[in-house]
Structure 1
Amino acid sequence: MATTDPTEALRPLAAVIEQTLRATPVQLGAPEGITDLTAALTTAVALYTARHVLPPGALDDLRRAEAQQAEPEFDPDRMEFRVSPDRRQIAIWEPGNEPWFIPEPAMRGRFVKTVDMDRMGWTRYLPTPAEGSDH
């Protein structure tokens, strides 16, 4: 019965690491030398993994998922508004952005957390559609 070397499958990866170690200049004793070496090794191993370990198309799926997560589609119908107890101020909340924004004079504003809005007595404002609009 022939025994196979369990490290045989890792030889290509070990070769990539060895090549990177040989090609990356490192200044001994300098912190940036270790940082440079770590960056070079991380990049080399990530590229090896992308080319030889991940299934075809896996990176494309990941890029698509990241793009969708990074930029949610703006939907004004999902925005919420609250009115101050004295009915003199309005706060705006856009889904995905936690603090409420309260516009103030001179192009300024402040941000307030939802729990604080509730505590201060701000009420939800539901605008009614203008006559003749399709909303």
Structure 2
Amino acid sequence: MTMYDAVTTGDDASREPEPKQRESGADDAPSPVSREQRDGTELLTLSGDLDLDVVEEIAPVLEAALAAQPGGLVIDLSNVTFADSSALNMLLRTHARTKLHLGGPLQPVVRRLFEITGIESVLNLHDSAAAALEAAGRARP
């Protein structure tokens, strides 16, 4: 690779990649996921922007919730302000593993993503986390 290639592509073969770091003060930022059990159902409440980095941060909490509640799970998306394809992938993979119920209302940007991709017709989307919890409770044996 020539120096010209590195300048035009942003690649620098002579340097090791720098590890990703959170923005300054991000350690004090609230977690993008909280987990609780309500009426015998695992409830994950997600918030903020759901991009690849955040989805990776959520993954261990999601796995623990799935292990505790293999028959169903509720995810509250009402505080999610942005979602990308990694978030959609996470939701679809979770739906394939368990009976997933999503609570809204969805923020306009997230609602539009769901409409464009047609994911609303695949997932169990409810108007609120309470409605999703109620539906999950009815679905339990």
Output the TM-score relative to the length of structure 2: 0.26
Structure with the larger strand share: 2
Structure whose CA Rg is larger: 1
Output the TM-score relative to the length of structure 1: 0.26
